[in-house]
Structures are given as C-alpha cells and as structure tokens.
Amino acid sequence: MHTLPNLGYVYNALEPFIDEQTMRIHHTKHHQAYIDKLNDALKAYPELQNKKAEELIKDLNKIPEQIRTAVRNHGGGHVNHSMFWKLLKKDTKISKEFLKIIEKSFGSFDKFKQAFSEVANSLFGSGWCWLVINKNKLEIVKTSNQDNPISEGKIPIFGIDLWEHSYYIKWTSRRADYIENFYNVINWKQVEENYEKALRGSFSVI
C-alpha cells in the first residue's frame, strides 16, 4: 500500500518563502489524505495495489470505472506531491549546463521565468504548473486539480502546486507573490537530474 514519503528536510527549511505551518499541514494532512483515499479506493482491487501510483494515473482508461475518479484525484495527488517535495530547497543555483538548455528552449532564464509565471498565474482554480519534456522539447503546461502531464504522454521535471493550501497561510490570496517567491526554493539539481533521467527513459516520480 502507498505510504507518505519523508520530506528529507525540516518543516521550516524553506522559510521565509514557504512557512513552517504550511509545510507541516501540506505534508502531514493534505498529502496523507490523498494516500489514505487512494489506498481505500484500491482495497477491492488487489491486482492494482502493487503498482506505483504513477503507473495507475499514466493510463486511467485501464483503471476500473468504479474507482477511476478516485485514482485520478488521489493517485494524482500522491504522485504530484511526492515529486513536489523533492523539488524544494533553498540556495541552490542552476548549473551552467542546464542554464544553456533553458536558454535554448526559452531564449533566456528571465524569459523562462516570465513564461512560467504567466502560465501559473493564468490557471483558474486549483491545479499545477509544470515544466515538461514533450517529444524531447521543453514546454510549460498547466493542469487542473491533481492531474499530471504523464497522463498526456508528457514527462514533468518540475512543477509548482497552485492549490490555495500551498500558500494561503502566508500569502493569502496573493498567488502571484507566492509564485514570484517560489523561484527562491527551486532545487535545480533535482530538476536537472529529472531532465537527464527523462531523456534516458529512466525517470520515476516515486
């Protein structure tokens, strides 16, 4: 059965950009709830219980209709958050090699940042904004609720959680401020590792 992954750092490690209370609630309450509800949905389907969550959501048409929505929402929530925690770290810098990849795809890092922020701010309601590999090219996409780009055949290497529980305690309704400050806690080493593994066909979220 699916279990809550460790953060790998303390809850206040991302201060002042993401507050301790948000991280604690986000990890132990919200992520745990997705896991509990996913496990509950799979109780009657032992043949699915040993599959990774990302396998379950990759092709939802293979999931029994009775639990498809639950797997989409809660399996997606588990996958998205398991990836998200690894992408957070203060004081990391993008490598020269990966910076060149970003510049080749978007023109410059500032243009990437502007494009990513625009897509993130344009999301209506709850969801995520992602940097993905699509046919060996980098793209920025958004998904609603807990949907993940792997369901569309794209490989996410970086993402930002845009649900209100990710930022409301500190930033209230100022999503744009949350997004702007988020660039201070991106674990670029992890993003680059995700990119390299994705190109080799060996990237796994969980």
Percent of the chain with pLDDT over 70: 100
Q: Count how many domains the chain has.
A: 2
79 with 149: CB under 8 angstroms?
A: no
* Domain membership flag for residue 91: no
- 75 with 106, same domain? no
- 67 with 101, same domain? no
Determine the 3-state secondary structure of 70 from DSSP. Answer: helix
- 126 with 194, same domain? yes
* Domain membership flag for residue 100: yes
- 30 with 112, same domain? no
- 75 with 124, same domain? no
Residue given tokens 């745990």 in the structure block: 32
- CATH code (residue 155): 3.55.40.20
* Domain membership flag for residue 79: yes
The pLDDT, as a whole number, for residue 159 is: 98
The pLDDT, as a whole number, for residue 157 is: 97
> Tell me: the pLDDT tens digits for 106-136?
999 999 999 999 999 999 999 999 999 999 8
Question: What's the first-to-final CA gap in the chain, in angstroms?
Answer: 13
- 32 with 81, same domain? yes
The pLDDT, as a whole number, for residue 206 is: 77
Residue 205 pLDDT > 80: no
| Average confidence score pLDDT of the chain | 96
- Asked which of 86, 120, 137 is the last residue of a domain, the reply is 86
- 68 with 116, same domain? no
Range of the domain at 74: 20-86
- Asked which of 86, 119, 134 is the last residue of a domain, the reply is 86
Q: Name, in order, each residue with C-beta under 8 angstroms of 39's C-beta and a sequence gap of 6 or more.
A: 1, 2
The pLDDT, as a whole number, for residue 203 is: 80
- 190 with 143, same domain? yes
- 60 with 108, same domain? no
The pLDDT, as a whole number, for residue 201 is: 87
Pair of tokens at residue 10 = 């303390």
> Tell me: the pLDDT tens digits for 130-143?
999 999 899 999 99
- 161 with 107, same domain? yes
Average pLDDT of span 133-160: 96
The pLDDT, as a whole number, for residue 193 is: 96
Percent of the chain with pLDDT over 90: 94
- 82 with 149, same domain? no
The pLDDT, as a whole number, for residue 172 is: 97
- 108 with 154, same domain? yes
* Domain membership flag for residue 168: yes
- Please give the model's pTM, rounded to 2 decimal places: 0.95
6 with 82: CB under 8 angstroms?
A: no
> Tell me: the pLDDT tens digits for 17-76?
999 999 999 999 999 999 999 999 999 999 999 999 999 999 999 999 999 999 999 999
